[in-house]
């Protein structure tokens, strides 16, 4: 069990390093798009409640600095079940659920696979 947790911690550290270094996108921290502060977990809560594992396997929300670092936008990466693609309809459903259950500021600027 501890070995598995250490492996998971190492993977998370690598992802944090990769996204921050390569893309300037810190993972799983407070987001601040347009001056509205919220945690990525608020988006994950909506996804967990509204999209079962047969439609959405996993997701990660990251913040990307824009306007020379003066602001930030949220980018949501989703992992879909094998053989499925991210349709415009499914992307819209994700956006609508987040907007309805949280706020317009919580809606990611981009959704990607």
Tell me, what's the pLDDT at 105?
Answer: 87
Return the CATH fold of 25-112: GMP Synthetase; Chain A, domain 3 (3.30.300)
27: left (phi over 0), alpha (psi -120 to 50) or beta: beta
pLDDT digits (tens, 9 = 90+) for 81-96: 999 999 999 999 999 9
pLDDT digits (tens, 9 = 90+) for 49-107: 999 888 999 999 988 888 887 888 889 999 999 999 999 999 999 999 999 999 998 99
Q: Quote the pTM value.
A: 0.70
Counting Cβ atoms within 10 Å, is residue 25 exposed (0-12), middle (13-18) or buried (19+)?
buried
Q: What distance in Å separates the CA atoms of residue 10 and residue 74, rounded to the nearest whole number?
A: 24
Domain-by-domain residue ranges, the chain? 25-112
């Amino acid at each position: 069990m501890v070995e598995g947790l250490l492996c998971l911690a190492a993977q998370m550290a690598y992802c944090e390093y990769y996204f921050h270094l390569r893309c300037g996108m810190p993972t799983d921290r407070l987001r601040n798009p347009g001056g509205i502060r919220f945690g990525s977990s608020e988006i994950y809560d909506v996804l967990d409640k509204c999209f079962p594992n047969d439609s959405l396997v996993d997701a990660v929300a990251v913040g990307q600095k824009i306007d020379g670092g003066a602001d930030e936008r949220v980018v949501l990466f989703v992992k879909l079940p094998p053989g499925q693609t991210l349709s415009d309809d499914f992307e819209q459903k994700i956006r609508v659920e987040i907007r309805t259950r949280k706020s317009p500021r919580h809606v990611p600027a981009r959704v990607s696979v």
